[in-house]
Amino acid sequence: MKRKISGLCIAIGLAMASSAVIADELRARANAIFAAVPTEAPEIEGNILTPEKVELGKMLFFEPRLSSSHLISCNTCHNVGMGGHDYLPVSIGHGWQKGPRNAPTVFNAVFNAAQFWDGRAADLAEQAKGPVQAGVEMSSTPARVVATLNSMPEYIERFKASFPDEADPVTFDNMAVAIEAFEATLITPNARFDQYLAGTDDALTSDEKEGLALFIDKGCAACHAGVNFGGQHYFPFGLVTRPGADILPPGDRGRVEVTNTASDEYVFRAAPLRNIELTAPYFHSGAVWDLEAAVAVMGTSQLGTELNDEQVQKITAFLRTLTGDIPEVVYPVLPVSTATTPKPVDMIDY
């Protein structure tokens, strides 16, 4: 009896050790593919994040007078209280026009290799200049923006403090650089998955760990890797099977418009999946509201795999562990308009 018990103990001990080995192995695999969101904003080449510049960037991010209507700010579509976007299939812009694609989250966007669904902006500063000028978004011009900023003495002072070496710091480019500086602070560390990566085994449930293993083994991680679980490379949407026109509208041909290369037709950036549970609806078309459904679409279109319900649920459960701490943002107090501030454009035309 004594021997039997002792044998049982050994067996249990081995099983536990073996289970621990498997657990460590999964973590090691995960650490080789992914990385945690840092707790501090990353360094940006050519854009030192001074407190003055970050604060100015925050003001500009919330500044509706960067739009010609004085209604729309960056935060309108990249709402810091709503997962860094707007919970809309496509955004509503100037004159209530619809944007062409789903607004990506601003959270952790600094970790993407390039910006926009087609990667047409090299960085966040370049990105910031797009919507300000787009006719369907903020519908302004660089000249109008500079005139607006120059009309408010507080902005002039803040640009001087943010770009102390420049003789004429109030520029459209510097507006974008300051916005980039603020956006670089909008990161979401401490997700349960990141705690797991760091060694806290019980940060994930067993279902979530199985979801992680499936995410790697089924091939999701081939495109969705790194700090941001995506945002680095471009792939045809419909790598294996092209999804329906409701999800992949034929009129939006993706990255081919940027590169003029035939093989880039219907090519889009692999979406970053950090905080994915906060960023419905999904895909560049914003056509799918349900995360489970989006995972299933990815299985068939990109992997050629019909994921069963249990697999979809486990992968989705895992994806929900990518939600980090939302950055605290104190609403900035914007300077008052002056007599020389360009007036909002006549709204009667819209």
- Residue 320 corresponds to which tokens in the numbers above? 């929900």
Contact 224, 33 (CB under 8 A): no
Q: Where are the beta strands (DSSP E) in 253-308?
A: 267-269
* Nearest distance from C-beta of residue 24 to a second copy, angstroms: 33
Element (H, E) at 179: helix 172-183
Is residue 345 involved in binding a second copy (CB under 8 A)?
no
**Residue 137 is a catalytic residue:** yes
Q: Kindly identify the residues of this chain, within the stretch 249-278, that bind a second copy according to CB under 8 A.
A: 277-278
Distance CA 248, CA 104 (A): 17
**DSSP state at residue 326:** P
Who contacts 286 (Cβ-Cβ below 8 Å, separation ≥6)?
88, 89, 90, 101, 102
Instruction: Report how far residue 53's alpha carbon sits from residue 59's, in angstroms, rounded to the nearest whole number.
Output: 10
Partnered with residue 44 across adjacent β-strands are 47
Give yes or no for a cis peptide into 281 (omega within 30° of 0): yes
Q: Minimum CB separation from a second copy for residue 222, in Å? A: 27
74 is in an annotated binding site: yes
Say whether 223 counts as a known binding-site residue: yes
Q: Does 290 bind a second copy (CB under 8 A)?
A: yes
CB of 63 to a second copy, least distance (A): 9
Out of 137, 180, 183, 210, the active site residue is 137
Question: Which region among 150-158, 247-255, 299-307, 335-343 touches a second copy (by CB under 8 A)?
Answer: 335-343
Check residue 38 and report its DSSP letter: P
Burial 69-90 (b: 16+ CB within 10 A, else e): bbebbbbbbbbbeebbbbebbb
Q: Total binding residues for a second copy by CB under 8 A?
A: 41
Residues 198-237 that bind a second copy (CB under 8 A): none
**What is the nearest approach in angstroms of a second copy to the Cβ of residue 95?**
5
245 is an interface residue for a second copy by CB under 8 A:
no
Among 55, 57, 66, 83, binds a second copy (CB under 8 A): 83
The yes or no reply on residue 339 touching a second copy (CB under 8 A) is yes
The answer to the question of residue 98 lying near a second copy (CB under 8 A) is yes
User: How many Å is the maximal CA-CA distance in the chain?
Assistant: 95
Question: Alpha-carbon distance 203 to 90, whole Å?
Answer: 34
Query: Does residue number 306 form part of the binding site for a second copy (CB under 8 A)?
Result: no
Tokens of 42: 């990353």
Contacts (CB under 8 A) with a second copy, residues 48-67: 62, 64-65
Q: Which residues are catalytic?
A: 137
Q: Which residues are annotated as a binding site?
A: 74, 77-78, 94, 220, 223-224, 298
Binding site for a second copy (CB under 8 A): 62, 64-65, 69-71, 76, 79-83, 86-89, 92, 95-96, 98, 277-278, 280, 289-290, 326, 328-334, 336-337, 339, 343-344, 347-348, 350
